Amino acid sequence: MSHRFGTFIALIFVAFLVAGCALPTSVARQKDSQNSSWHGRLAVRVAANPADARSEAQALTAEFELEGVPEQGKLTLFTPLGSTAARIDWNRHEAVLFAQGKQQSYTNIATLLDELIGTELPVNAFFSWLKGQPEQAAGWQIDLTQFASGKITARRDFPEPQTEIRVMLEP
């Protein structure tokens, strides 16, 4: 991961820690299995990988809007003041990150997320989790016990690095 992007993620993380925004917990709108749009708060933590001496722990917390399906969509991350911090647009052929007035292209959303976060994230399963469906993903444990109040937690301990995703959906 580039030092520049790591700095960008750290700045977003600090800004959201300072902002400390609370969100409503009703998610009736998001529970519709046909829904392809979500809004809320997202937290991703990735531990340093002990097998890679250059790896560093990563953390991202942001308010987000997500539209689409695993094959095509748009993810927007917001600053505490509501302006766009970063946006990712993707389709079957390309994924593009727009951040800091620049854009970077990748072959697909999985590659882009792996590069940014430092580990593979289960894109297909994530969309199912947002619908309250406990789709299995290799190595991941999903907790949907608080889905009715908008909370989703997923954790992977192996393969390393340990990774945790927390989502709080807003109506």
Three-state DSSP at 76 gives strand
pTM: 0.78
CATH topology of domain 3-170: outer membrane lipoprotein receptor (LolB), chain A (2.50.20)
* % of residues, the chain, pLDDT over 70: 80
Which amino acid is located at 125 in the chain?
A
Three-state DSSP at 134 gives coil
Place of tokens 């002990």: 50
- Sheet of strand 151-156: strand arrangement: 102-106, 95-99, 84-90, 72-78, 58-69, 37-46, 163-170, 151-156, 140-143
Which sequence spans correspond to the domains of the chain? 3-170
pLDDT tens per residue, the chain (171 residues)? 444 444 444 434 333 333 333 333 334 334 444 559 999 999 999 999 888 888 889 898 999 999 999 999 999 999 988 999 999 999 999 999 999 999 999 999 999 999 988 888 999 999 999 999 999 999 999 999 999 999 999 999 998 899 999 999 998
